Amino acid sequence: MEDPQSAYSVQLEIFNGPLDLLLHLIKKHEVDIYDIPIALITEQYLEYLDFLKDVNLEIVGDYMSMAAELGYIKSRMLLPRIKEEGEEEEEDPREELVRRLLEYEKYRDAAAELGTMEILGKDVFLAGYDRREMFGEPAEETEFVKFDLWSLVDAFSKICEDTKKAETKEISLTPQTYTVEERKNQIIEIMRSKKEVLFGDLFEGDKNRMNLVVTFLSILELLKDGMLNVFQPTFEEPIKITLREENGR
């Protein structure tokens, strides 16, 4: 069976938020942005939201509030519009949304435009560029990619997959297991002797799923305890782990 998770994450990359998605839907259905068929667009929007659900909660949150907004506009469109005497003409319930869409589109296009400039480090270079301290020094501390728990989970699931392939070939009747406590101590020992270890290397000796999980939990606990640092220099590079300097010394 194919991993549904990976199919989703590809889709997620396409849109940069609810406004980006809405602009896409408007363009796809070739509708007039000043006269958006709210019912149709809302339906399509919710369809996509369904698709996003249980993939990445953090991202879905941003999309949810727009879904609520669309629902509200839709309901206001359905209500009869009673004009009271002396009252200014009622504003179209879609107006605020259209204003936001156009505003966002303007900057989205500007960003695309910026991306086509002759960019230093991509299109053009300087003499001695390779030795240049460009993007914020010291590189050691600041240049790391921001990542969250998901990156770790992601890396862990990759390791699990790789191990699963190997697992079938080698069946041990008395698998060697250890507890989280034991494993935590082992990891500390490894870190003391090696200083810097690749995240994946800590799973090297783990031949079965149980041990993999124990190792992963141990790493998470050590992170929580503030014993370890975890970082990723760039997206292309593997996640690294170091022992955190002991305090009070």
Partner 1 sequence: MDDRSSLQNIIECLIFISKHPLTIQEISEFLKDVEKKEITAALDELQKRWEDMGRSFVLGSVAEGYQFRTRPEYSQYIVEFNKEIKKFRLSKAALEVLAIVAYKQPVTKIEVEKIRGVDCSSSVSILLERRFIEIAGRKEVPGKPFLYRTTNLFLETFGLKDLKDLPTVKEIEKIKEDFKEPE
**Range in contact with partner 1 (rule: CB under 8 A) among 102-110, 159-167, 170-178, 179-187:** 102-110
Alpha helix locations (H) across 79-148? Answer: 95-115, 139-142
Query: What is the residue type of 201?
Result: D
Interaction residues for partner 1, span 134-193 (CB under 8 A): 134-136, 142-143, 146
**Range in contact with partner 1 (rule: CB under 8 A) among 30-38, 164-172, 180-188, 220-228:** 30-38
Angle, nearest 10°, between helix axes 209-224 and 180-194? Answer: 70
Under the criterion CB under 8 A, does residue 110 sit at the interface with partner 1?
Answer: yes
Under the criterion CB under 8 A, does residue 39 sit at the interface with partner 1?
Answer: no
To the nearest whole angstrom, how small is the minimum distance from the Cβ of residue 80 to partner 1?
A: 13
- Distance CA(210)–CA(122), nearest Å, equals 45
SS3 28: helix
Alpha helix locations (H) across 29-94? Answer: 38-52, 57-78
Under the criterion CB under 8 A, does residue 127 sit at the interface with partner 1?
Answer: yes
User: How far lies 119's CA from each of 107, 113, 123, 135, 241, in Å?
Assistant: 19, 12, 5, 14, 33
Interaction residues for partner 1, span 188-247 (CB under 8 A): 234-235
Q: Which residues bind partner 1 (CB under 8 A)?
A: 16-19, 32, 34-35, 58-59, 62, 66, 77, 92, 94-95, 98-100, 102-104, 106-111, 113-115, 117-127, 129-130, 132, 134-136, 142-143, 146, 234-235
